[in-house]
Structure 1
Amino acid sequence: MSLIGRLFVILFGFLAACLVAGIIVVGAVLFPEFSDFADSQIDPSALNVILGFGFIFLSGFALLPATIVVLITEAFYIRSVLAYALGGGIVGLACYLGLIPFDPDTLRFDGIVRRHLEIMTGAGIVAGLVYWMIAGRNAGAWREPRRPLTPPPPLSSHSPAPPPPPAS
């Protein structure tokens, strides 16, 4: 696989992983509203807008940490599903902690909500698995040499003999 083709596969895998993570985050955050349908119905167009913003939000925040994970796995030919799940969890954690204010005096994050941390980490793990299914299984494939073409099978002994060369 050429490097250019591999970059397209990586980009497609990243976008699909962000879409799945956005759906998970929006679904988990809106779960209390989903569980109470007695009051009113949820507008499908509003849900589509929320999912779109969730996708854009996650893809923007996850780009740098996910790029680091992709570079490491491509450089070292890491193709393990566990590595991508762990990397996705770390990316989700980094995305969440990037939004929380950090107090340098006490070296602590102020205002961590445990449920939101769990949602982002879980969404990152699922996104890592989706990325592995699309692009991670073949990490580093662009550096492998192409297989040589197999030679044609030998002629059988029952095949007709080639014609004699012309006499001069």
Structure 2
Amino acid sequence: MAMIGYVLKRILMVLVGYLVAVLVGLIAVVMIYAILSSLPNAPGYFGLMEFTPVAVLVVPPLGMFVYFLTIILTGAQTLVFALIAEFFSLRSFWLHMLFGAAAAASGFMLIWPAAADDPERWADMGIIAGAGLVAGLIYWLIAGRDAGFRRPLIKAIPGTV
């Protein structure tokens, strides 16, 4: 019975970690565009992307639409990555960051399938992948540090090892 409780706790942690990571990832996209728009010779639409979140704040249903669209676009691949991390007890932060970047980039590819062929979209894909790195780090902080459906058999005694 304790094992079922532990697995349910892990599932809840994965879900909460994912939902918070998506939110932080969306904030990271805005911050990255804001920073890049201040660089010299930055494309004009970088500046537009800096102010787009104002519309999301003014019209909350639009914000919820963007949040849920992001969840739909990245949910399947994130579930696969989370199951791999939990099954193999993968707990390294850099691996979760790579999983986050891969999930974000693949979600971007679902919106723009021809992005790999369009050099103008490469910068956007890099920005989205960078935000995925941040989201992966947040996921690791919430759920990834203790990844694994199996509980440790022996806990270390403080002062030893």
**TM superposition score normalised by structure 1:** 0.69
Question: Which amino acid in structure 2 is aligned with residue 123 of structure 1?
Answer: A
**Identity rate, percent:** 29
Structure 1 gap ranges (5+): 37-41, 103-107, 149-168
Paired residue for 2:150, among 130, 143, 149? Answer: 143
Deviations 1:112-135 (A, max 9, x none): 512211121011111100000000
Paired residue for 2:12, among 3, 8, 11? Answer: 8
Paired residue for 1:89, among 97, 101, 117? Answer: 101
Deviations 1:39-58 (A, max 9, x none): xxx56842655543332221
Q: Determine which structure has the larger helix proportion and give its number.
A: 2
- 1:33-48 aligned at under 5 Å gives the runs 33=48, 45-46=57-58, 48=60
| Separation in 2, partners of 1:35, 1:57 | 19
- Match in the other structure for 1:19: 23
- Match in the other structure for 1:32: 47
Question: Which amino acid in structure 1 is aligned with residue 92 of structure 2?
Answer: S
Question: Which amino acid in structure 1 is aligned with residue 65 of structure 2?
Answer: F
| Separation in 1, partners of 2:125, 2:50 | 21
- Match in the other structure for 1:73: 85
What CA RMSD, in Å, does the superposition of the two structures yield over aligned residues? 3.0
- Match in the other structure for 1:119: 127
Q: Secondary structure at the residue paired with 1:144?
A: coil
Structure 2 gap ranges (5+): 35-44, 156-161
The answer to whether the Cα contact below 8 Å between 1:79 and 1:136 also exists between their aligned partners in 2 is: yes
**TM superposition score normalised by structure 2:** 0.71
Larger Rg: 1
Change (3 A) 1:77 1:137: same
| Separation in 1, partners of 2:57, 2:100 | 29
Q: Secondary structure at the residue paired with 1:138?
A: coil
1:99 aligns with 2:111: yes
The answer to whether the Cα contact below 8 Å between 1:66 and 1:88 also exists between their aligned partners in 2 is: yes
Corresponding residue pairs, total: 138
| Separation in 2, partners of 1:134, 1:78 | 14
Deviations 1:40-92 (A, max 9, x none): xx568426555433322211111001001101111111000010011111111
Question: Which amino acid in structure 2 is aligned with residue 144 of structure 1?
Answer: R
Q: Secondary structure at the residue paired with 1:139?
A: coil
The answer to whether the Cα contact below 8 Å between 1:100 and 1:110 also exists between their aligned partners in 2 is: no
